[in-house]
Amino acid sequence: MSDDEVHQSRRPALRKLRVDVQEMREDLEAGFASRSAVLRWLQSLTVRTRGEIPQRRYHQIAAEFPPTPGHDTGSFLMALLGDETETDHDSLDVRRYFWAWSVLPAFHRALRELRKDAGEYIGESKESQEVSQMRYIAMRPAIDELDTDQSAVLDQFLDGFEEPADVLGWGERLQLATHGEPVQPDLPGGFATRLYTEGVITDRLPETSNTALLTRDDPTHTRAREWLAAKLLLPAFNRGVRDLAGRTAEEADVMSSGTGAPPTWGGSA
């Protein structure tokens, strides 16, 4: 059976998870247009692997994002950037090695966990068994909802805020996006509190005020937000989805016309 063939399955959640992960691999092999696109893809990956990517891998990736212009971008991140028309064989090998070494084992663990409560559809309509039409990630609406929250929180942070006070409402949604997992476990009051009241990276960027970090879109502050997203937000997202994954119920809801379009990872470098 080919990868492109439409599947029908008595336990469609398992095959749906595989389809969700396969789409992530195709995006990885195609390459990314910008650093922010890489971060958005990694967020999506955390959800589709149900939090099974090792936390240390996110810490290693964060080291690839220099917080200030003029510093060298990590070699792994460089291998991810560029589209398929520009990709050399070495970069593609790096991407595939990352998939083989980090994502395939995570998918294995995610599937083993999902199989415990994957529903079996016997005597149901073919529509309820058609994997390609399933609306939710791994047929888990709560996981899909968390993905939406994480994506929105990450987008707003990377884009910056209109004014510093906007971080307060963002901080409320951040709690949902991490499923209550702390972004900085040793930080009283939480990450959003620190963002609003203090300069969180003054040790790395002494000339940067907290207000500038939150609101400006020049290269210095954009890269600082990307670095913080890689260093702090992605690991918290990963912990959150891993906690939620074992508590969710299955729903065989099919996509309506015009829904379910895959995300795009575009943007300027």
pLDDT at 5: 47
Q: Provide mean pLDDT across the span 169-185.
A: 92
pLDDT at 176: 95
pLDDT at 146: 96
Higher pLDDT, 59 or 211: 59
Q: Which domain holds residue 209?
A: 12-245
Domains: count for the chain: 1
Query: Does residue 232 sit within a domain?
Result: yes
Query: Does residue 267 sit within a domain?
Result: no
Question: Is residue 58 pLDDT above 60, yes or no?
Answer: yes
Tell how many helices (H) and how many strands (E) occur in the chain: 12, 0
- Cα 209 to Cα 200: distance, rounded to the nearest angstrom: 9
Query: Does residue 260 sit within a domain?
Result: no
pTM, rounded to two decimals: 0.84
pLDDT at 211: 62
Question: Is residue 226 pLDDT above 60, yes or no?
Answer: yes
Instruction: Return the SS3 of 174.
Output: helix
Query: Does residue 17 sit within a domain?
Result: yes
pLDDT at 103: 96
Query: Does residue 6 sit within a domain?
Result: no
Question: Is residue 258 pLDDT above 60, yes or no?
Answer: no
Query: Does residue 253 sit within a domain?
Result: no
Estimate the share of the chain in helix, then strand, then coil, as percent rounded to the nearest 5: 60, 0, 40
Query: Does residue 187 sit within a domain?
Result: yes
- Cα 154 to Cα 38: distance, rounded to the nearest angstrom: 12
Question: Is residue 23 pLDDT above 80, yes or no?
Answer: yes
82 near 91, Cβ under 8 Å? Answer: yes
pLDDT above 70: percentage of residues in the chain = 73
Q: Provide mean pLDDT across the span 39-61.
A: 95
Query: Does residue 259 sit within a domain?
Result: no
pLDDT digits (tens, 9 = 90+) for 130-166: 666 677 887 788 999 999 999 999 999 999 988 888 8
- Cα 143 to Cα 153: distance, rounded to the nearest angstrom: 15
Question: Is residue 223 pLDDT above 50, yes or no?
Answer: yes
pLDDT at 206: 44
